[in-house]
Amino acid sequence: MTERSIIFFDIDGTLLNHDKKLPSSTKEAIFKLKELGHEVAIATGRAPFMYRDLREELEIDTFVSYNGQYVVVNGKVLYTNSLNTTSLEKLTEVALRNEHPVVFMDHEDMKANVPEHHYINESIDTLKIEHFPTHDPHYYKKRDLYQTLLFCREGEEKQYEQEFQDFDFIRWHPVSVDILPKGGSKAKGIQAVVEKLGFPKENQYAFGDGLNDIAMLSSVTNSVAMGNGEEEVKRAAKYVTKSVEDDGILHGLQMVGLL
């Protein structure tokens, strides 16, 4: 290897399999990359507190959280992009009338605007994390929020998309949608990182599988979609590797010549 590269990995369905486990081949591949002198980073829709253990296990301190809204390089906050509080308050009022709960999220915690709801339980449980939102309907006040979760069935988010133009809505679960600042994406977060660290386009790589990875895979020069990803995601990538369950990370790194 003559040049260092930077490789961004999504978490769910990419680093972690469908049981939210880290395959041994993936862990070994990550440390091999680091031994070779490459920079390894995470780019996820998750909040920082949702994958602290994973970062510690893989010894990664550069990451793009909240689909690009909270970016950390070498353990220091580099870039943030928060939700418009006035619009969020109005959206919350509409959601309450529609009996659609919301969960407010900053870099430290997440709080629900209702005491409990089965949609929240159903979707958050799939992440298999210890952290669970507690009740605080005023959590959005006097703090920066980088993402909010709206809980509704597929198609019901359309009314919010039409009414709240300064937000983007990305579905991640049959009963839950990410609410992000308009135009925010993993791609923008990654851009901030590579500009800070000085990696040229030809030395940038990204792996992902979900709809929130499309902007990232479309913008990063050497992009790899997981075999378990949706067809739309695969079309956005330069390469397609095997499934996460079938040593997809290791195979993909070998395919692009990094290992």
Class of CATH domain 85-181: alpha beta
Question: CATH 3.30.1240.10: which residues of the chain?
Answer: 85-181
- Note the pLDDT of residue 1: 44
Question: For 171-194, what is each residue's pLDDT tens digit?
Answer: 889 999 999 999 999 999 999 999
Q: Which fold has domain 6-80+184-255?
A: Rossmann fold (3.40.50)
Q: Is 10 a catalytic residue?
A: yes
Which of these is catalytic: 10, 106, 168, 178?
10
Record the tokens describing residue 136, joined without a space: 């605080």
Q: CA-CA distance, 230 to 239, in Å (whole number)?
A: 14
φ, ψ for residue 243, nearest 5 deg: -65, 155
Is pTM beyond 0.85? Reply is: yes
Q: Starting at the edge strand that comes first in sequence, how are the strands of the sheet with 176-181 ordered?
A: 134-135, 110-112, 102-105, 147-150, 176-181, 167-173
d(CA 151, CA 69): 20
| Residues in contact with 92: Cβ distance below 8 Å, sequence separation at least 6, in sequence order | 102, 113, 140
183 CB neighbour count, 10 Å cutoff = 11
Query: Which residues of the chain form CATH 3.40.50.1000?
Result: 6-80+184-255
* Residue 168 to residue 172: CA distance in whole angstroms: 13
Give me the tens of pLDDT residue by residue for the chain, a chain 259 residues long: 458 999 999 999 999 999 999 999 999 999 999 999 999 999 999 999 999 999 999 999 999 999 999 999 999 999 999 999 999 999 999 999 999 999 999 999 999 999 999 999 999 999 888 889 999 999 999 899 999 999 999 999 999 999 999 999 988 899 999 999 999 999 999 999 999 999 999 999 999 999 889 999 999 999 999 999 999 999 999 999 999 999 999 999 999 999 9
